[in-house]
Structure 1
C-alpha cells in the first residue's frame, strides 16, 4: 500500500530543528521521548488531494503533521464525501493502533508527516508512558474540537459558522507563529467545495457568506485562498451572535447588495464564486 514518498529519515537532530517540536504531541512527550519516536519514524510527503490513510482499509502507519493541513473525510456507501475536520501541524493523523478506520485522512494541500509504523508505535508506547499520555491528550483535544464544532453547526447560522472557522484558523496560525494580530491573514487550505462541506452549506452560500463578511468590513479577501481579518472585533461579534448569524443566513437567500464594491476590492473572490466547484 502506498503511504506517500519518504523524503528523509527522522533523527534527534532533526527533531530539535523541527517546526512543530514545541506543539502538540512532541511538546507534551518531551525531548527524550520525541527522540525515541524520531529514531523509528520517517518524514513522508503527500501531495494535495492524496489519500494518506484510506477509510475502511487496515492502517499500517500514523504520524504527526510537520507541514501543511490534513482533512478528515467520511465517505458514504453512495460515494459522497463529507469533510469532518481539518488538522494542522503538530496534530496526529491516522489511527494509533492497526485497525480499519471509519474515516479517511486526505492531504488538503502538500503536507509532510513524521510517519511511523503502528507496530513500532505500539511497542514504543509500552516502553514510554509519556508518549501514551501525549497521544491520549492529543486525541482528546482533537475530539473536543470536533464536539465543539458539532455544537456550532447545530446552533450557529451561516455567517456565524464562517466567522467562527476563520477565527479558529487565525488562532491556529497564531499558535504556530507565536501570536495572533488584528491584521492576521488566514490561509484557506481547503477547496471551496471541501470548506462548504466542513461548514455544512453549499458552495454558493459559502461564497456569499465570505462576501457579506467583507461587506461588513470584518475581512478582506486578498485572494481566493487568503482572507485578511481587517476587524477582529467585528468578526468575533458575528461569531458570537447567534441572532446576528441567523439574520445573516436569511440575508443570504436574497440578492447580494453592493456587489460591485466587493469586486473592486477583491476580484479574485468573484472569480472563485464563478468556479465554485473547484
Structure 2
C-alpha cells in the first residue's frame, strides 16, 4: 500500500502539523498520478520548503553574519538514485536541485558549484533573506519525507536552512548519506535534530539496518532516539514494506498517510 510519512522538524511546534498533512497529501497525489516514490517525496518536501513556518526553503534561518542563507537538501531511493546539495544559496527549492543532481553521475555538490548547477538546471535567483517570514528568527529545523510506492520502492527526501546561530559553511546531517537520510530495498529513514550528533552515529543508516534485520519499526525508532542524549533534539521517520511511523524526543509535527 502506498504510504508517506512527513516531518517538520524535531522541536518544531505541533501547531504546524497542518503543513505536514498538506505535504503528505501532495506526495500522495503524485503517487496517485502514477509517479514513483522519489517524486512523491520531493513533492512533499517542496510544499514544506514553500511554507515559511519551517526551516527550509523560504523559511530558512539566517547564518551568524545576519544576512546569509545557506541551505542543504538530499534525495535517495531504493533503485540507486542519490543526490544532495550543501551550502546552496538563492534558490527557492533546494530539494529540486538535489533531485537534479541525482540524475547526474555525481552525488553531492556544494557551494558555488551547487549554485552554478542549479542555474544550469533552470532554477532562477530567489533571494530568500528578502522574504518576510515569521520563522526567519526561530526556524524549525529540518523537513523530510519517506515514501513507499505501489511497486514496493522506497525513497527519502530532506531539506534544511541549517542551525541558528551557525557560521557560514556549516553543514549538518541533512545532505550526508547515512546520517540524515538513507533508503534501500528494505525501507527509508530520515533523521532530524542536531546534525553534529546525528552524523557521529550515522543514525539513519543504523536505523535502516535494524529495520532490514527485522526489528519492528517502533522499536527501531526508539532505539535510534536512545543513541543520543535526551537533552539533544532528535526525531526520526521511517517506512518499510509493512510499517510506517515517526518518533521524537521533542514535539515534532509529523503525519503518516496511506492510500485508501
TM-score relative to the length of structure 2: 0.27
Bigger radius of gyration, 1 or 2?
Answer: 1
TM-score relative to the length of structure 1: 0.25
Structure richer in helix, relative to its length? 1
